[in-house]
């Protein structure tokens, strides 16, 4: 890890928080030059909030009871992000869609992880859909967030071969294990100044990523 000041992360979650735990672990063990400044969730019961609090991280539930409340959520989230000095927003299993103005206000500073080899299978139930389609491979993608759902510039993909005996559950578990490796890695690139957003594209080490980097996980 470099000696630079840790990049402050604002992590948005809706659920279990296993990616949050992986990222927080990488920060704590100084494998990446980042720190989790605040964790926000629209679901007070999200397991990830408990994980964050156990780690001593500021973790807050901000209610989002219906579609009309998105603006209120975003206002409260913005206040929390500013108070925490967050420099990068990390969506880690955040199941809501942020508004165009919120995304535009944070252009190039929001990452997401999606459980498919984008552009294949944007949206929900990706594991079920790949199995139904009879695909031979699946995976996860870390990408910059734009106003296109699951459509922003792709940075790194984890490719996971599909096995004969795979079920939705087994595939979910293998893809998630790979997610826990690639998401901290990409955040580390960003923290080290290697990953940039320039004019709507992802750049790594001074070059535009025309296609994402791909790593295969076959264990
Ligand atoms: C992950 O599989 C991620 O790809 C998707 O939501 C899931 C979140 O899981 N966006 P967790 O809450 O990090 O365990």
pLDDT tens per residue, range 81-93? 999 999 999 999 9
pTM tops 0.95: yes
Q: What is the residue whose two structure tokens read 């659920």?
A: 15
- Looking from the CA of residue 18, the nearest atom of ligand 1 is 14
Region 196-203 average pLDDT = 97
User: Ligand 1 pocket: which of 13, 14, 17, 18 to mutate (most atoms <8 Å of CB)?
Assistant: 18
Residue carrying structure tokens 């949206």:
123
Segment 162-193, tens digit of pLDDT? 999 999 999 999 999 999 999 999 999 999 99
CA distance 145 to 91: 9
The full length of the chain comes to 219
pLDDT of residue 68: 81
Going along the chain from its start, the domains and CATH numbers come out as 7-216 (3.40.50.170)
In which region does residue 80 sit, left (phi positive, over 0), alpha (psi from -120 to 50) or beta (all else)? alpha
Phi, psi of 22 (to 5 degrees): -65, -40
* pLDDT at residue 147 greater than cutoff 90: yes
Q: How confident is the model at residue 219 (pLDDT cuts 50, 70, 90)?
A: confident
pLDDT at 3: 61
For the stretch 22-49, pLDDT in tens is: 999 999 999 999 999 999 999 999 999 9
Pocket of ligand 1, beta carbon within 6 A: 13, 15-19, 48, 92-93, 113-115, 140, 176, 179
Lowest mean pLDDT: which of 39-43, 65-69, 111-115?
A: 65-69
Active-site position among 114, 138, 143, 180: 114
Average pLDDT over residues 88-101: 97
Percent of the chain with pLDDT strictly greater than 90: 95
**High-pLDDT (> 70) share of the chain, %:** 99
Mutate which of 176, 181, 186 for ligand 1? The one with the most ligand atoms within 8 Å of its CB, which is: 176
Counting DSSP H helices and E strands in the chain, the numbers are 6, 11
Question: What integer best gives the mean pLDDT of the chain?
Answer: 96
Residues 31, 2 contacting (CB under 8 angstroms): no
Say which range, 2-11, 18-27, 43-52, has the weakest mean pLDDT.
Answer: 2-11
């Amino acid at each position: 890890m470099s000696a630079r000041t840790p990049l402050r992360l604002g992590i948005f979650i809706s659920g279990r928080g296993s990616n949050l735990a992986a990222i927080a672990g990488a920060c704590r063990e100084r494998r990446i030059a980042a720190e989790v400044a605040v964790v926000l969730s629209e679901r007070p019961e999200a397991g990830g909030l408990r994980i964050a609090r156990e780690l001593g991280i500021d973790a807050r539930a901000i209610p989002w009871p219906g579609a009309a409340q998105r603006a209120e959520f975003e206002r409260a989230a913005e206040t929390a992000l500013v108070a925490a000095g967050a420099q990068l927003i990390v969506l880690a299993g955040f199941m809501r869609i942020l508004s165009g103005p919120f995304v535009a206000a944070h252009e190039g500073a929001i990452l997401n992880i999606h459980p498919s080899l984008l552009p294949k299978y944007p949206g929900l139930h990706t594991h079920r859909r790949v199995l139904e389609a009879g695909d031979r491979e699946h995976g996860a993608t870390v990408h910059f967030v734009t106003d296109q759902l699951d459509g922003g510039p792709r940075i790194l993909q984890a490719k996971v071969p599909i096995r004969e005996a795979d079920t939705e559950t087994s595939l979910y578990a293998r893809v998630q294990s790979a997610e826990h490796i690639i998401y901290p890695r990409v955040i580390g690139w960003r923290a080290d100044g290697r990953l940039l957003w320039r004019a709507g594209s992802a750049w790594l080490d001074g070059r535009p990523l025309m296609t994402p980097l791909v790593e295969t996980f076959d264990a």
